Amino acid sequence: MSAGARMNMTEGPLFKKLLVYALPVLATGVLQFLYNSADTVIVGRFAENGETALAAVGSTGSLTALITGLFIGLAVGANVSLSHAFGSGREESVRDIVHTSVSISFILGAIISVFGFIAAPFLLSLMGVPTEVLSYSVLYMRIIFIGMPAQMAYNYGAAVLNARGDTKHPFYFLLVSGALNVCLNFIFVVFVGMDVDGVALATIISQYLSAFLILRLLTRLEDSCKLEIRHLYIKKDKLAKIIRIGVPAGVQGCLFSVSNVLIQSSINSFGAATMAGNTAAANIDGLIYIAMNSFYHAALAFTGQNAGALKYGRIKRVCAMCSGMVVCFGVAIGAACYFLGPNLLSLFGIEGGMESESVRVGMLRLAIVGLPYCFCGLMEVMSGTLRGLGASLVSATVSLLGSCVLRVIWIYTVFSEYRQIEILYFSYPATWVITTLAHFTCLVIIMKKRQKELAFHDL
């Protein structure tokens, strides 16, 4: 199997290349969404204690993201490091970064797996997961963490392929593993009679398959990205750059997860019905985020290669085009999810009309969070552009102050005063707008500085 030639992001028609790169990422994300949603759909509709099981699965998401966020962020560091090496034509550096990235993915996967398995009961209790849900949540989370080595390997392998310009193979691999996940969900829950343990087991089996496929492809490449599993090594200088770029990205992800954990804890205080409605709607608006995130990855990779080639004018065009695309996709998909909301919620077993608390909460989230999601997309594009330039710490700092800190302040001030679920949801669009403006300001300043440095160097 061959991944074909690399995509040269520093030359040629930009709009077409952005779409060719971003659309497979979007399709991959949709598959990942279906892959994850299969757990909630099937337990919500077919498990014996459907609403309790649905609440249990939903209560673990933000906590799992918090634990894994820092380490998955390092994959961003690998992506940017590789993009810079591609743009500047340093093939030996590419080889070193590939082997360093895969090596640390194996190490981190094992560490996270052990920690998550042991700490699950304590952390979920700390989040205030209701007693009737807690045992289900602990079981689900522990099984999911057994799959962490595979998740890390897949993420780091996909980072290598994305930086190379190959976004199609990750899509193909998730197509296969996602189909397996759905089939196994039905087998374990509907036919075997398992519960949250069944959907968790189906998830990790599928993760190990996708990890195997992506590592197998890397070993069969015919250029400097070829992986030699038997000769894995870590280069200290390459690891240092991955850490320098990736840790701020990971910390940013963790901090977002901290605020989401606090929000989830606040939601938990409203009871199982509200938790179930929020879980279903969060899965639906996650579909909008996937579209936004695909252009984040495009901005990250294209900016990285063009920064390596010192083509700053092309970086401006990358940012502008990606911004336009996220607005178009965000508005269209956000509106579609809202107007189809009742039908989409029913897929998760959330039914009964607006008199049902679960339906009411789900539709509130789709209206307040889903409709203005394009602002999250703009924030993501600005963040991806800054990271591609190597200014990962700036991006993380802005996100910390603009989204995370403000969101926490919102919870302890506005929400504390007016304890209504819609007040909690308004924290999302408010912080997206503020963070986008701050990111844009930083991006303008950094681009001017880089262009002055280039002009001085050319004298």
Separation of alpha carbons 395 and 63, rounded Å = 23
Maximal CA-CA distance, the chain:
73
Measure the CA dihedral 49/52/55/59, to 10°.
-110
Amino acid at 422: E
Residue 456, pLDDT score: 57
DSSP-based three-state secondary structure for 168 = helix
Across 108-112, average pLDDT: 89
pLDDT band at 353 (very low <50, low <70, confident <90, very high): low
Residue 371, pLDDT score: 92
Residue 46, pLDDT score: 66
pLDDT at 208 over 70: yes
The 10s digit of each residue's pLDDT in 265-312 is 788 778 777 888 888 888 888 888 888 888 988 998 899 888 888 888
Separation of alpha carbons 190 and 425, rounded Å = 34
Helices (H) then strands (E): counts for the chain: 18, 0
Percent with pLDDT over 90 in the chain: 21
Lowest mean pLDDT among 123-137, 300-314, 384-398: 123-137
pLDDT at 4 over 70: no
Amino acid at 122: F
Residue 214, pLDDT score: 93
pLDDT at 61 over 80: no
Across 166-181, average pLDDT: 87
More confident residue, 39 or 293: 293
